[in-house]
Structure 1
Amino acid sequence: MAKIELIATATFGLEAVVKREIEKLGYRILRSEDAKITYLGDERAIVRSNLWLRSADRVLIKLGEFQAKSFEELFQQTKALDWEQWIPEDGKIVVTGTSVKSTLHSVPDCQAIVKKAIVEKMKETYACDWFPETGALYTVKVTLLKDRATITLDTTGPGLHKRGYRICDVAAPIKETLAAAMVQLSFWKEGRILADPFCGSGTIAIEAAMLAADIAPGLSRKFVSEEWSVIPKEIWKEERTAAYSAVKYDADIRILASDISSEAVEAARANAEEAGVDQYIEFAAAPVSAFTAPEEYGVIVANPPYGERIGEKDAIHRIYKDLRRFMTANPTWSLYLITSDKEFEGSFLDRPADRRRKLYNGRIETCYYQYYGTRPPKE
């Protein structure tokens, strides 16, 4: 198969992280835009991207892009695409859509037109008038932005944050993809200690362990494109085998995960066991005020409670005081913290954050504050 354009979608603010992940897999980036990275690949790239991308939301095949100010334009240009290259005669076709600042503003009508165009093309291709749609699922999305239509095919199915290890949950869990990005943005790595004193269901600690041990995040789940005949099952088998071989079982990983809630800690421990990384994480039920530095140099990556989720302001400010006390006493430690609290920076330390990044935790706008500790001396 010739090279195809793939799109990795991402939460706003994580585009640079996803771009680095794609480049690490060896693929050429074509464009980096708001919430999506476009790159070149092949069938194997579809498999590898789904298995390995930690911070992307899903992997799409870009089938076409064109101007569409009328339903006729949308119909004819959609029909002209190479649907037969991807969808077999028994394929189950579902069409979703969005429309922003476009003449064709009725999304249901656009979806119906796209579905009709695909069916008409398939009638010509397969010389039949009716399709059973009993086979694999093919979710097509029509995205209209300023009268420009982009037609994509979803290869992922349930979003990439669905790793498969979250068997126990707590209130307001952070998304696995966001947690993985937070760890990568902290530049923490194997051989150094990482702590999360607000671990909740353990997502940050688990994602950090999987990253350091080179465990592919998609290794324990299935993807919708695994059922597609166009991607040989042998490729899936080869890439999963390669992913299993890449795991570093002897990695030097030390992670501390604690929470004031003993129920949350038990949930985190169960999830870590399911993910196969519990041996790298030390769990404890304790408030942040009890947290002490076990080593001179370390990194805290945390998602503490904030107003929209849990806890009142007084309790949250007490948490800030405890963190400030720790950071003042341990200037060699670095802190990476996400919160929606606009007052955080002014009420936390006597100095501004070394870096800030606007991110979204679900629908909540947050800021990822980064405070760099003193670097350890070079060996």
Structure 2
Amino acid sequence: MSDHVTLIATATMGLEALVAREVKELGYENVTVENGRVEFEAPVEAVARTNMWLRTADRVKIKVAEFKAYSFEELFERTKATAWEDYLPEDAEFPVIGRSVKSTLYSVPDCQSIVKKAVVERLKQTYHKEWFAESGGVYKIEIALHKDTAVLTIDTSGAGLHKRGYRAVQNTAPLKETLAASLVMLTNWQPDRPFADPFCGSGTIPIEAALIGQKIAPGFNRDFAAESWEWLDPGIWERARQEAEDKAEYDQPLEIQGSDIDHRIVELARENAMEAGLYGVVSFKQMQASDFTAKKPYGCLVSNPPYGERLGEKESIDTLYQEIGQAFRSLETWSIYILTSNEKFESLYGKKATKKRKLYNGKIKTDYYQYWGQRPPKN
């Protein structure tokens, strides 16, 4: 096993560039950006550091092999020729998942069972055993076929990286933490300025903003699949947690406010903030968005309002967008960022966005409308 690995950080469509930026900020070079993924070479300790620090990636996988496969036989032989013993100990539990896009081998269940058989055959040769109990750590293998290129990976994250560990209960349509962090990172917000979300729901956007503002690692509160792997030095996790502790700026004062019309949701947001260790850092209150006013100039407002996707909601959503358009008109020095799937947003809101960016909220195609406020005068 070499002291370097090839890692793939998976990303939601439209967020690849952000993930790549984060990977580079961690000091890793040779970064390749493709649809839905960012690939890079890194020392083994990057397994812990990327899981700990990447705010916008979905998960981190180790790339084990890549080859062309036009037949099941080819898939079997090339998989079997891979040094699985470098990664999988004798007692490894290794489920195989798969996907196939525009490839000759389109049957995913067949590809999965062939990869499983090939790995077993390889391990039989290495460990001189006929049967494996699979009672140890979990090494989830994925076979991903795209245009007849097979990529074999092992997932290091376990639960998706959006599971930060602070959101115990969710409201019906929660915004993923990774997307919430992305929305904040796509703004010009600085921690010394006020930040608001007038449709805060269970508080995800304000909480992610606070974690960014205080430089708190998003993975600080949780465990990862690769922590139980025998071939990884446990010290890499200890060092990653120590680095997270050293870099956190818990004393950075922040002015972050979330509000929502539903008092039960506001209570839930408070509980989530407390769970994230941000008690007193973020404030929440019950309020309708159209009542929002700014006490200070030069702030940042980021929100994910209702889209009106359900039947019968259209009229009330149209009215809501018109109302916030009027209410936010006075915020000329604030930058305002709104995520919605509603294609008529600009005309209802009453103003054309400075910039629009296509993003996916789950499976929903949305636009991120960006209204840049006036710049503060130079001191």
> Which TM-score bucket, shorter chain as reference?
over 0.9
Deviation at 1:294, TM superposition (A): 1.3
Contact 1:269-1:283 at 8 Å conserved across structures: yes
One-letter code aligned to 1:285: Q
RMSD: 1.2
One-letter code aligned to 2:163: K
Cα distance in 1 for partners of 2:19, 2:340 equals 21
- 1:123 and 2:124 matched: yes
Number of equivalent positions:
378
Q: Secondary structure at the match of 1:150?
A: strand
- 1:45 and 2:46 matched: yes
One-letter code aligned to 2:291: A
One-letter code aligned to 2:182: A
Deviations 1:63-91 (A, max 9, x none): 11111000111011111111111100000
Equivalent residue for 1:62?
Answer: 63
- 1:221 and 2:222 matched: yes
Identify unmatched segments of 5+ residues in structure 1. Answer: none
Q: Secondary structure at the match of 1:268?
A: helix
One-letter code aligned to 1:369: Y
Deviation at 1:309, TM superposition (A): 5.7
One-letter code aligned to 2:148: D
Deviations 1:37-70 (A, max 9, x none): 0011122100000000001000011111111000
- 1:371 and 2:371 matched: yes
Cα distance in 2 for partners of 1:182, 1:264 equals 21
Deviation at 1:311, TM superposition (A): 7.5
- Give the structure-2-normalised TM-score: 0.97
Q: Percent identity?
A: 50
Equivalent residue for 1:331?
Answer: 332
Deviations 1:209-252 (A, max 9, x none): 00111111111111000000111111111211221121101102
- 1:241 and 2:242 matched: yes
Residue 174 to residue 311, structure 1, CA distance change in 2 (3 Å): farther
Contact 1:69-1:104 at 8 Å conserved across structures: yes
Cα distance in 1 for partners of 2:317, 2:308 equals 8
Contact 2:6-2:62 at 8 Å conserved across structures: yes
- 1:77 and 2:78 matched: yes
Cα distance in 2 for partners of 1:290, 1:125 equals 68
Residue 167 to residue 78, structure 1, CA distance change in 2 (3 Å): same
Cα distance in 2 for partners of 1:329, 1:55 equals 32
Equivalent residue for 1:287?
Answer: 288
Equivalent residue for 1:34?
Answer: 35
Contact 1:79-1:117 at 8 Å conserved across structures: yes
- Give the structure-1-normalised TM-score: 0.97
Deviation at 1:274, TM superposition (A): 0.3
Cα distance in 2 for partners of 1:26, 1:210 equals 20
Identify unmatched segments of 5+ residues in structure 2. Answer: none
Deviations 1:127-182 (A, max 9, x none): 11111100000110001111111111100011000001002321211000000000
- Runs of 4 or more above 4 Å deviation: none
Deviation at 1:310, TM superposition (A): 9.2
Cα distance in 1 for partners of 2:142, 2:253 equals 43
Cα distance in 2 for partners of 1:63, 1:321 equals 52
Equivalent residue for 2:298?
Answer: 297
Deviates more, 1:134-143 or 1:243-252: 243-252
